[in-house]
Amino acid sequence: MSFIVDTLLAMAWLEFLGLVSGLLCVWLLIRENIWTFPIGLVYAVISVVVFIEARLYADVLLNAYYVLMNAYGWYFWRFGGSRPGIDPVPVTFAPGSVRLVLIVLAALATAAMGWFLDNRTDADLAYWDSATTTMSFAAMWMTARKYIDSWVVWLVVDVIATGMYVYKGIEFYAVLYGIYLIMAVMGWQAWRRSMRLASSSA
């Protein structure tokens, strides 16, 4: 009995740490601060543990991917400007062709992953979990490339994920994604201002 209690307490602490690091990560992202990426690495590692316990395996895969993409984003934001290490990477819209490819890939991947998880594992909410995962794959790559469209995708992900985590009883993450909804709007507005400033000073 004490082992069960200790495990539940440990998971609650992990969820709380995930909430704090996740909020800090997005707050830094809104401000276009490169420290969003190392904090994001911490958040991703914690989330892997939390979602393994909840049997949300698509989310486990997603957060393993976040580890890689946080490393990539850290590198790209540092060295991807016109003068690496001096000029920051500008905020831009994703090209139309990129958006179309990402939409098609996300739809196909959602169907394939959802079918696999629903038929070959004990996963819960297989298709919903797969949808948030594949969209987040796309959104995280767009974030690393500093495409403002990423905030729209994050908003859709946050709506679905909030409902999913409420249903699963992962309260801290439900709160986190509910706050992410607001922060996605703030992120869009902040990056849009950044684009206007860049165009007016060019």
Distance CA 16, CA 170 (A): 10
- The pLDDT, as a whole number, for residue 198 is 85
CA dihedral 54, 182, 137, 72 (to 10 degrees): -110
- The pLDDT, as a whole number, for residue 7 is 52
Q: Give percent above pLDDT 90 in the chain.
A: 59
- The pLDDT, as a whole number, for residue 161 is 94
The pTM score is 0.83
- The one-letter amino acid at 106: A
Model confidence over 39-93: pLDDT tens digits? 999 999 898 888 888 887 877 888 899 989 999 999 999 888 666 666 688 999 9
What region does 56 belong to: left with phi over 0, alpha with psi -120 to 50, or beta? beta
Low-confidence ranges of the chain (pLDDT < 50): 5, 8
